[in-house]
Structure 1
Amino acid sequence: MARQTLSLRRRLRKRLRAAGAGVTRYVGNHPLVAGVAGTLIAVAMAGLTLLTLGTGRADALDHARQTSQNLVAIISGDLARNVEIYDLSLQAMVDGARDNVAATLPADVRRAVLFDRATTAAYLGGAYLIGPKGEVIASQNDDVNDAVRLADRDYFLVHQRSPTVGLYFSHPFRSRLRDGKLSVGLTRRIDDASGAFAGVALLAIRIEYFQHLLDRIDTGQLGSVFIVMDDGTLLARKPFVPRDIGSSMAKSPTFERMSAHTAGTYVARSSMDGVRRMYTYARVPGTPLIAAVAPSVDEVLAPWWHRSRIAGAMTLAFGAVFVTVSWLLAFALRDKLRAQAALLRLAATDPLTGLGNRRVLDNRLDEEWRRAQRSGQPLSVLFIDVDHFKHFNDAYGHASGDEALITVAECISAAVRRSVDVVARYGGEEFAVVLPDTAAEGALSVAEKIRRKVQGRDVVQSDGAPVTVTVSVGCATCVPAMGESAHDLLAAADRQLYAAKAGGRNRTCSAQWAAASVAQDSSA
């Protein structure tokens, strides 16, 4: 079992090495892939960073929403609990006012019966019994002012008009009993024995209670937290602006959304100061109040923006460096490939004539031989030699000899036009041409075309006198068979070249070779 595991690991390592080598070879052969891959990786990194930053932004907003919901729940809970306590005190006051026995008690005892300890709570402006004409008939602190009438107050009129109102939460008012202090009244109706209106029980809550409740909440420099009645009357706000207390925000777009639902969260721009805030609100159970917390979106996202700028700058910097290095590597690989290709061209090209050299000839001849074997098509070879070239060099110099070779190479290239044909300098003044899929007649036609082109060209000497050169061409054609080789075909063409030279030069000799023997010879 251990040997099998070890063998499996070795095979896996070999495959991984082979895969890595394959990738390396592919990148080496396609250098721009490195640059494109590096760019795509950098873009992917940037996209991942943007996705992460987007998720972070959503998390920051979600955290602010949850925090605001918790704060709203705290404010709402405090308000609901105190209103419930105050309502119990009001109900006790109503019951005491309807008790005929309590009316016969001494004043101090009657106050103790009517007003419990809850009416002495902090921020409670006072507890009062108000008669059917709006007069104050009893007070928690025995500070009854007979001249004060409260029959015009909304909390009095609403109970006077309807016996089914229950607990009523008044709008803010300036107290006539406490030197104009701003208060909110909680009231309940008092009926006499016959059910007729007999006055109201009033608990005056100082407006500072609501403001004190909000002062403990931190929503940042641009944030806001406020308590508003369901008709849009503002009771408290932070930041505190005295003139705003008691004003109506019923027409504000932000309030319109609050009044339509029990609770919720939304983002909007304030019509008062233009700050974009996240409003989280909820109605206070058992009251006409709405508590809202609205931190500034910019302040909520400030830490996220700070992190995003750092992450964005680092991603941009690293991405730019990565892309730059990738493209530098790509260009370096491209230059290396170009240099290698140039070296290969130099290694495969005759420097004088620009034709393929002997190595190219041998490789391509072997390839075409095998292909002709598979296809059963004829393969032709031309062997070309410049006539009396040694004498030409001796008479006109090596520079003219080189010019003559270049001229002959140009004539051969002009006559051999197919991309599959191979033209090469065999050595010295000898050239060779490989003609795939070409029969003897076609090869002889190409050979004659070459011979005539060379004969029609002049080599200009240093003294300006033109000199004509000629070539002899040997042709061989065969359909490759088993047991033969490409060198046999080349040797047959060479023999025809010598036959052309022996026949007087400046001519072409051809042999159609089959079954390892020359089947037909001809000359032109």
Structure 2
Amino acid sequence: MGGSTRSVSKVAAVATAAALIALLSILGTWAAQAYFMSIDRAEERAMASAKIVSSHVSWIHQMGTQTVRRIDDALRLTDLRFDGNIRDMDLATQGLPSGVQAYVVDAEGRTLYSTDPEIKPVDITDRDYFKAVRDGQIEYVSSLLISRLNGNQIFVFSRRIVREGRFMGAIMVSVPAEITRPIWETVDLGGNYAVSFIRDDGMLVARYPLPGTTLDMSGYILFTKYLKDAPSGTYFAEASPMDGVKRLVAYRRVEGTPFIAVAAADYEFLMQPFRQTLLMLIVVAAMVIGGAAAAGWWIRHLLRDQEQQSAQLAKALETNEMLLREIHHRVKNNLQSVMSLVRLQMRGSESFEALSSRIKSMIAVHEQIYKHDAYAQIDAAELIKAVVSSAVSAHDAKLHVEFDLQSAPVSADKATALALLVNEVVTNAIKYAYPDGEEGRLLVALTAPNEVGKSRLSIIDNGVGFDVSAVSSGTGTRLIDGSVRQLDGSYDFQSQAGTRFAATVSLV
């Protein structure tokens, strides 16, 4: 009596563990896929935003450089000597965006011309944008500065004025850093995101939201690593050098300018959809594990009572069988509950259809077990028929299926692997052998075990075939590989007048 009880308990534990392992493997694969899909979508969105920032930065650069050149042309015949008066030059600066101001100074930095109605004397001779052109550079773009006229954040385009080989002064176009706000609003990455552009020597030129200070990024990983590897790309910044926020950063060199455009997306905001999916998977896993644990505890409790009541052996055995049927029935119901939760989260998607089909194949295993009271082994031929019929019905396929199945026992711990393997290959045939939904034929064959205990499983269609060497290592391929390994076997695909799948497997 004790040995029989332990045997029944072992079968229940193996069946439940096999179902849990298979389900948790699927949920784990799903979670990994959801994570990598979230990362891919975030990177695509960040790169698209960096392109938008790049196009705006290119326009700002053209606006600044063309304005200083246009002013230089307009001043060709003008006397640039300082006479104590500041003259207006609206004609040469028409069309500048709001807040952009232009100035002309002489060789000593004194203002000669200005578009700024609130201009006042300030010393700019120590500013890099004046010193650079004074020392011989034709044109220059400053990093982020604080205006000495109004205290606002600005950056400056400057151009050297040369007459008859002599330095006569400089032209400056002052651009408010607020000009980046429309770019930020256009990008709208959500959460705590930012846009900026940086000079190619690492100095911050402008950013929105406005920074608290200027920043030298020449020693930061963007310049020490990523820009050396590629002119554009993405990377994760665990802590922004400006505000410490974790972001996904997309960068792009702006062609024809000395700038790098940056769109930095809030990592926590981008990962919210994945976290919602992960929470749902955790709830599903907890339900299944909790249900299985409760059922396992209950079975163990009853089996222990049966051992103590040897006088009621016949009734105890009958109760054991009833309880095992209930286990598989409950596992089947739990799997159906999982399908309902998955349907609510991923209704209509291709991922749902694939996951639904795999769970149905697991359900078929438990139906065969509790319908036939076959707890250690079930008939592989009947299981394969049930799985194939379920897959064809689920996809509403117009297939004529022929079976050439010899009865062979399959152990309970290998039944799930066999069901998942058959479901995956048949589903692939339905989806890819007959892509336009045309009618076709499918042959499913299984031989009895040979002298070394190996059976041969064949699934053959007469569809369009495929290039065996071009098969990608997706979820389906990994599931086939894993199932065959659980069956201690090997397999191969051949594509001749259709597709032939053949596997040599051990079912017990």
Aligned equivalents of 2:119, 2:297: Cα separation in 1: 92
Distance 1:230 1:209, change over 3 A: same
Select 1:88's aligned residue among 46, 50, 66. 66
Match of 2:141 in 1: 169
Name structure 2 gaps, 5 residues minimum: 1-6, 315-508
Whether contact under 8 Å (1:227, 1:237) holds in the other structure is yes
Aligned equivalents of 1:71, 1:316: Cα separation in 2: 39
Whether contact under 8 Å (1:254, 1:268) holds in the other structure is no
Aligned equivalents of 1:239, 1:206: Cα separation in 2: 13
Aligned equivalents of 1:96, 1:331: Cα separation in 2: 98
Select 2:132's aligned residue among 153, 158, 161. 158
Residue 84 of structure 1 and its aligned partner are, at CA, apart by 1.0
1:460-495 CA-to-partner distances (Å, cap 9, x unmatched) read xxxxxxxxxxxxxxxxxxxxxxxxxxxxxxxxxxxx
Select 2:179's aligned residue among 181, 201, 209. 209
Match of 1:134 in 2: 109
Aligned equivalents of 1:258, 1:137: Cα separation in 2: 44
Match of 2:378 in 1: none
Corresponding residue SS for 1:72: helix
Q: Which structure: larger Rg?
A: 1
The total of aligned residue pairs comes to: 303
Amino acid aligned to 2:279: R
Whether contact under 8 Å (1:136, 1:149) holds in the other structure is no
Please tell me the root mean square deviation across aligned C-alpha atoms, in Å.
4.1
**Correspondences of 1:38-437 after superposition (within 5 Å):** 38-99=16-77, 111=89, 113=91, 115-119=92-96, 121-124=97-100, 126-140=101-115, 148-162=122-136, 165-176=137-148, 178-192=149-163, 194-211=164-181, 213-214=183-184, 217-241=187-211, 243-244=212-213, 246-253=214-221, 256-257=224-225, 260=228, 261-270=230-239, 274-322=244-292
Distance 1:110 1:206, change over 3 A: closer
Corresponding residue SS for 1:98: coil
Aligned equivalents of 2:112, 2:51: Cα separation in 1: 38
Distance 1:175 1:323, change over 3 A: closer
Corresponding residue SS for 1:285: coil
Residue 191 of structure 1 and its aligned partner are, at CA, apart by 1.9
1:474-524 CA-to-partner distances (Å, cap 9, x unmatched) read xxxxxxxxxxxxxxxxxxxxxxxxxxxxxxxxxxxxxxxxxxxxxxxxxxx
Corresponding residue SS for 1:159: helix
**So what's the TM-score if we normalise by structure 2?**
0.50
Residue 76 of structure 1 and its aligned partner are, at CA, apart by 1.7
1:425-446 CA-to-partner distances (Å, cap 9, x unmatched) read xxxxxxxxxxxxxxxxxxxxxx
Whether contact under 8 Å (1:137, 1:144) holds in the other structure is no
Residue 35 of structure 1 and its aligned partner are, at CA, apart by 3.5
**So what's the TM-score if we normalise by structure 1?**
0.49
Amino acid aligned to 2:232: A
Whether contact under 8 Å (2:160, 2:167) holds in the other structure is yes
Moved more, 180-189 or 55-64: 180-189
1:162-206 CA-to-partner distances (Å, cap 9, x unmatched) read 2xx444211233444x344432111222221x3332322211111
Aligned equivalents of 1:281, 1:94: Cα separation in 2: 33
Residue 34 of structure 1 and its aligned partner are, at CA, apart by 4.9
Amino acid aligned to 1:268: A
Identity %: 22
1:263-302 CA-to-partner distances (Å, cap 9, x unmatched) read 2211131156554322222233333333323333333222
